[in-house]
Amino acid sequence: MRYFKHFRGYPDGGEQCYVRALGLNERMPPAVIDRPRGKGDYLFMYFYDSVTIQTGNELVRDAGVLMIWPPGERQHYGNQHERWRHSWIHASGSAIGAFLSESALPMNTMLRLEHPAVLERYITELYNEITAFRTEDTVITENIFHTMIRSVARELRGAEGGFMPEYILRVREHVESHYTQPLSIADLAAIANLTPAHFGTMYKRHVGLAPVAHIIELRMLEASTLLANRNMKIRDVAAAVGYEDIYHFSKLFKKRFGKSPRAYRGSE
């Protein structure tokens, strides 16, 4: 995994969203950090490994959790017996509190983040915006931060729209790259390393369509685009999206769009 950390000066004041420091995948020696009054800004910190964190008057030991501390709040965390790893952002500005309130993300609470990639992506984007250009575009920085908070909130809601498992993303990419070719459920399940029955259930849960239905949907959408080309015969359109049987293709197309391919072409 990529590693970096970056620090810069404190803001002059009045900034809506200012990232003072951030780090990705930083490995720490055995140690406990205790800042009785914090650092004067918001601290977002994800712990990959087991650490002890103070929340209120309690000391809780856990791993795979995100903490968000507001300015002035005590920050007590770490592991004095083992090395531990974390990713983090120090940031200040009025927009951050508004973003957190809008997304109903609680502070001073251990939030279980099953897929840290949803946070890592935006830490990397913030780092790139801050370091890759002579002048940071503060509107871009603010938008990245806003999107990060909304994405984390969505991930924490889980079934309502959380991060897709890597194996589903892998199969979906394969389907979207090869849908005009013959694809069997057994082969797709093998890519996901699941049984066909379990794969079908998980794919529909995360993608919203069963694997075969998703393949048909992709084929029909491409066919609707190809039909705009009057130089292509309908038979050629059918073949281009994976159907040698033009009648079967026409039946599926009419089911999807409510018109035969010929009628659809005439209405374009």
Q: What is the pLDDT of residues 140-153, one digit of tens each?
A: 999 999 999 999 99
Please give the Cα distance from 117 to 122 (Å, whole number).
9
Instruction: Kindly tell me if the per-residue pLDDT of 219 is higher than 70.
Output: yes
Residue 255: what pLDDT?
Answer: 96
Place of tokens 């049987």: 245
Classify each residue of 231-253 as buried b or exposed e, where b means 16 or more C-beta atoms within 10 Å of its C-beta: eeebeebbbebbbeebeebbebb
pLDDT at 188 over 60: yes
Min mean pLDDT across 60-69, 83-92, 103-112, 163-172 is at 163-172
SS3 label, residue 159: helix
* pLDDT for res 10: 85
What is the pLDDT, as a whole number, of residue 67?
97
Which of the four pLDDT bands, split at 50, 70 and 90, describes residue 224? very high
Q: To 10 degrees, the CA torsion angle through 125, 128, 130, 131?
A: 160
Q: For residue 163, what pLDDT band results from cuts at 50, 70 and 90?
A: low
- Residue 165 makes CB contacts below 8 A (sequence gap 6+) with 202, 206
Domain 166-267 has CATH 3.30.2270.10: no
pLDDT at 126 over 70: yes
Q: How many C-beta atoms surround the C-beta of residue 122 within 10 A?
A: 21
* Better pLDDT: 248 or 206: 248
Which residues, at least 6 apart from 54, have a Cβ–Cβ distance to it below 8 Å? 60, 74, 76, 77
- When comparing pLDDT for 160 and 214, which is higher? 214
Nearest by Cα to 92 from 112, 106, 71: 71
Whole-number pLDDT of residue 11: 82
CB hemisphere CA count around 247 (13 angstroms): 0
Architecture of the domain spanning 4-160: Sandwich (2.60)
**268 pLDDT band (50/70/90 cuts)?**
low
CATH 2.60.120.280 residue window(s) in the chain: 4-160
Task: Considering the chain, tell me which residue range(s) the CATH 1.10.10.60 domain(s) occupy.
Answer: 166-267
